[in-house]
Amino acid sequence: MPFVTVQIAKGHSVDQKRELAKALTDTLVSTLGTKPEWVTIHIDEFERENWAVGGELHSDKPGKGGKHHT
């Protein structure tokens, strides 16, 4: 009974999340031989201001919805 948690930044559409859940479920079914009804997908969304790479908040990076601080 696979349980998968996917962490993504907020901003994806419901349709994208449906596609993600379907693709992950199909992959687990084909790889593990489990039944689709046994697969649980949990999508955990977070704000870009709560995510940093290289010491810089993702929300502050150019093109990511924030201002670039130099």
Catalytic positions? 2
Q: What are the DSSP E strand ranges found in the chain?
A: 3-9, 40-46, 52-53, 56-57
Residues 6+ apart with CB under 8 A from 46: 7, 8, 9, 10
Structure tokens at 24: 């992950």
